[in-house]
Structure 1
């Protein structure tokens, strides 16, 4: 093998390596806001074409204190559960390929939450409060659409911010105190509409 052949192979390998380094097609992300409510939210985005991608998000909530505990003898109600959220992204920028720039993303969402602990009930006759044990679950399904901006820095680091409306249909089953949707963070008895927002940081590869 002569020098010119070796040099040609080395040059070809360098071109392939450079192309692969620039052609990031996946991103793993973590939401940097959700830990405030004892929730870890991870997502995986995969490039489908130059203008689209698919993302799957999974969230896990562990022992979030809904009411913070209302006296020295009780820790109040704690909520745990999980959520699954697939979304399809349409990237709008002509300067950047998919996974960079502004995008519009319709999504679906399923969430299951379980709540246990002590529930404080107000008695309008006596003006006092009584404490009861509660064991309740909430299941919710819906979807919506978000508008966002995705940045890839140094072909490796991802920053993603999004905001948009959502609609969720949910139901609660309870054993014990009369727990309703209002007892779960982010859910309201007479309102199915909401706002979905988030900021994630991740690694592209």
Structure 2
């Protein structure tokens, strides 16, 4: 009986010590710009992971209103001594975005599709083997094309087209 109890305790300890391989997270600053942003990260090896993020937005940085979505795959290389998905990382990424545009002053309408990429550096913590906190920043470039469907091209697409900075702070659940 004692041998069985010891065996059960050893198995349970091994299960409890299992590293987390998946993280679902949400960018906590996104609601400030009327955006819902979520990501799923999957550990690939001890030092790397793949993340797929997506967002939906209805954002108006000026005269132009943007309504649409984006998708961002990235591959993370963890540089710290802890195993992925925890620690310091660098991550190249690509991003596709598709928006409907409206411009209130001229009553113009159109669409914008962009494709781009960049590189972020960040750090992710896993607390109590369940809660993730991830902070990142890095340069990005997106190139896009506006298609006018009504009116003239008076759209200010600078918020989503050209050079910029990708930054975020996410809170999530590791499992």
Give the alignment's TM-score, normalised by structure 1: 0.78
Residue 19 of structure 1, CA deviation:
2.8
1 or 2, which has the higher strand percentage?
2
Q: Structure 1 residue 42 and structure 2 residue 38: aligned?
A: yes
Could you tell me which of 171, 183, 187 is aligned with 2:145? 171
Residues 42-67 of structure 1 show CA distances to partners (whole Å, capped at 9, x for unaligned) of 000111111000000010113x3444
User: How far 1:140 sits from its partner (Å)?
Assistant: 0.2
* 4+ long deviations beyond 6 Å: none
**Residue correspondence of structure 1 range 65-144 to structure 2 within 5 A:** 65-67=60-62, 78-94=65-81, 96-116=82-102, 118-120=103-105, 132-144=106-118
1:59 aligns with 2:32: no
Q: Which ranges in structure 2 are unaligned for 5 or more consecutive residues?
A: none
Task: Kindly tell me the number of residue pairs found equivalent between the two proteins.
Answer: 175
> 1:17 — aligned with what?
15
Give the secondary structure class of the aligned counterpart of 1:178: coil
Aligned match for 1:158, one of 113, 132, 142: 132
Please provide the CA RMSD for this pair: 1.9
TM-score, scaled to structure 2: 0.90
The more displaced of 192-201 and 85-94 is 192-201
Q: How far does residue 159 in structure 1 lie from its aligned partner after superposition? A: 0.7
What SS does the aligned partner of 1:7 have? helix
The DSSP-based 3-state class of the residue aligned with 1:166 is: strand
Please report how far the alpha carbon of residue 155 of structure 1 lies from its aligned counterpart in structure 2 after TM superposition: 1.1
Structure 1 distance, partners of 2:92, 2:154, is: 28
The secondary structure found in structure 2 opposite 1:155 is coil
- Output the CA distance in 2 between the equivalents of 1:29 and 1:185: 27
